[in-house]
Amino acid sequence: VPKMWQEASVNGTIQKLAGMMDTPLTGLDTRIKEKEITEGLMDEKFKMFMETVDERFHRFVNQINQYLTENGCKCDIKLQKSGYVVSYVLNSSKRTLATFVSRKTGMKLRIYPEHIQEYQSFLDTLPEKLKKEIKKASVCKRLVNPDDCNPKCVMGFTFMLDGEQYQKCRYMAFQPTLSEENNSYIRQFLEKELETIE
């Protein structure tokens, strides 16, 4: 049994949710109840995820969660070997905008900026350490030579940074670590991407 469900059983979440299902329902009522149960489970999962986040960044993670869910994203939480993976999927296109991932170096927010070329000058304003991470990220083999990589792999991003062109893997290019220095830039990054969609 996954640890997440064991914890949910101990703190009474499963029992509470099971109690919500006692009353026989039909039609619209059933759909509303299912939505409430799903939201209840997501709330509990998010609380468990927050227990793994450095206390210094609780406020920031909550702000990002609120900002993205209020701006057309659905929060999807999965438990993997490395920890919780919390993704924000755009309701309009069903594509993932950003994902919180746990790494030994700390919590990161992987950003998928599909419209990066529309605001790539923003990258020049990033802190030097963050620029260095982007420059060091893996090259997208499919962009360089489409035959070099799995054809099912989604292509990465082509962008300019400090006057040079880069072609980086979509899973490695933009995943800043949460930090006092990076957090305001992470927020701006998400805002700029969402502005291009509106």
pLDDT of residue 38: 54
pLDDT of residue 11: 54
Residues forming a β-bridge with 164: 161
pLDDT of residue 151: 78
pLDDT of residue 63: 96
167: left (phi over 0), alpha (psi -120 to 50) or beta: beta
pLDDT of residue 144: 85
pLDDT of residue 138: 93
pLDDT digits (tens, 9 = 90+) for 113-154: 999 999 999 999 999 999 999 999 999 988 888 777 777 888
pTM (2 d.p.): 0.78
- Give the tokens for residue 97: 């905008």
CA distance 55 to 37: 28
pLDDT of residue 35: 55
Q: At what angle do helices 27-50 and 58-70 cross, to 10 degrees?
A: 150
pLDDT of residue 182: 96
pLDDT of residue 104: 84
Low pLDDT (below 50) residues in the chain: 5, 8, 14, 17, 20-21, 23
- Give the tokens for residue 75: 């929060």
